[in-house]
């Protein structure tokens, strides 16, 4: 076996001690095929329903922020209500389904090249993010 040891090593390699809590969260986030979009609240609910070990809210925040700081999660702001996180850290964009209130990845090839024809003196571009809002078609 064991994914657990692989995850533990992964965490260690990030400079994060592989605690039980971190392994549970790490595997929930990354032991899956598709990318995963979630809010802290989503994560808390999933953990409540799937993990026998209780993980405190503070630990959830701490772990997610550590992973984000290490570059393993991307933070996405759609609106002021909630903060979303994305396990897909490659350069890409998003659909936001306003009916279901959920994110869908738009990979880089799904969006034509974006030309910015204006520059601000003394400033350089650090990122370009496109958010495409969608709603039920009726």
Partner DNA sequence: ACGTAATTTATAATGATTCTAAATTAGTGT
Partner DNA sequence: ACACTAATTTAGAATCATTATAAATTACGT
Q: Which of 83, 102, 105, 131 binds DNA (CB under 7 A)?
A: 83
CA 126 to chain centre: 19
Position 87 contacts DNA (CB under 7 A): no
Distance CA 94, CA 104 (A): 6
Q: Name which of a copy of itself, DNA, none residue 40 binds, using a CB cut-off of 5 to 8 Å depending on partner kind.
A: DNA
Position 55 contacts DNA (CB under 7 A): yes
What are the backbone angles phi and psi of residue 62, rounded to the nearest 5°?
A: -60, -45
Supply the DSSP symbol for 137. -
* 21 within 8 A of 55, measured Cβ to Cβ: yes
13 to 32: interface string for DNA, x by CB under 7 A:
---xxxxxxx----------
Position 111 contacts a copy of itself (CB under 8 A): yes
Position 34 contacts a copy of itself (CB under 8 A): no
Q: What is the dihedral of CA 11, 39, 110, 133, to 10 degrees?
A: -170
The footprint of a copy of itself (CB under 8 A) covers 75, 77-80, 83, 95, 97-99, 104, 106, 109-118, 120, 122-137
């Amino acid at each position: 076996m064991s994914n657990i040891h692989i995850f533990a090593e992964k965490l260690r390699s990030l400079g994060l001690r592989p605690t039980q809590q971190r392994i549970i969260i790490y595997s929930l986030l990354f032991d899956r095929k598709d990318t995963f979009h979630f809010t802290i609240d989503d994560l808390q609910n999933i953990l409540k329903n799937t993990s026998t070990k209780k993980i405190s809210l503070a630990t959830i925040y701490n772990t997610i922020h550590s992973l984000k700081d290490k570059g393993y999660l991307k933070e996405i702001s759609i609106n002021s209500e909630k903060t979303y996180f994305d396990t897909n850290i490659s350069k890409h964009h998003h659909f936001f389904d306003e009916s279901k209130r959920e994110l869908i990845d738009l990979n880089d090839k799904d969006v034509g090249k974006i030309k910015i024809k204006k520059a601000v003196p003394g400033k350089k571009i650090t990122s370009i993010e496109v958010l495409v809002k969608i709603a039920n078609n009726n």
